[in-house]
Amino acid sequence: MIDFFNRVRRPVAIPGSQKIIDSFSILLAGIILGILSKKLDTTASNLLPSFLESLDLRNFFSRMGVWIFLAVLISVYSKTPLRAAANVFLFFTGMVSSYYLYTVFIAGFFPKSYMMIWVAMTFLSPFMAFICWYAKGEGIISIIIAALILIFITRQTFVFGFWYLDLINILELFLWVGTMFVLYQTPKQFTKVVTIGLLMFFLTSPLNLFWGML
């Protein structure tokens, strides 16, 4: 089984000290982004600088797209699938903890139902990260994984109906383009990923996937 997965993508060994630095940096990034997200969420839009207000960062950080993108980014650029699982778990642990600690102790309320959703997602994230790591591998398995990633990001970026295709948020368009760059390896591989991913997007458009809010 290990040989099978290694044929898809082979892990790369790194020193223990580098592992600690990487993990600590990712945890810290999660904490900072969690606090920033909640700070934006509790600040009236007219009190923000005009360029931040026009970007609508409050809604941007309240949607799943940015968190899926960051999790994918951390996953695929980790050196091993186990490192991907650990790093993404630390990122979500930092983000969710800081977000809800800020919510309870500074904002002064306790949204239990939303918190439980994010806690569950945090514990699920290592398994998803382990799988996502293989999106930068070789063969049909990596293509299918990359296509699944693309469909989730596409669902966060566009709304598709019988007679329309609308962009949800300009910032998420940048995430969508960024995902394309992250998943790209060769023209042939990329063509297959985009073809499968966009086909699945249109076929699953009636489903309401991952529209949860923080």
Tens digit of pLDDT for each residue in 5-40? 888 999 998 998 999 999 999 999 999 999 998 888
Q: What rounded mean pLDDT belongs to the chain?
A: 86
DSSP-assigned beta bridge partners for residue 158: 167
Residue 49 has pLDDT above 70, yes or no: no
Yes or no: say if 96 and 212 are a contact pair by the CB < 8 Å rule.
Answer: no
C-alpha–C-alpha distance, residues 180 and 190, integer Å: 8
Residue 165 has pLDDT above 50, yes or no: yes
To the nearest 10 degrees (0 to 180), the angle between helices 112-132 and 65-76 is 30
Mean pLDDT on 173-193: 94
Of the candidates 116, 71, 106, the one whose C-alpha atom is nearest the C-alpha of residue 92 is 71
Which pair of structure tokens corresponds to residue 32? 């900072």
Task: Give tens-digit pLDDT for 82-136.
Answer: 999 999 999 999 999 999 999 888 877 877 888 888 999 999 999 999 999 999 9
pLDDT score recorded for residue 31 = 96
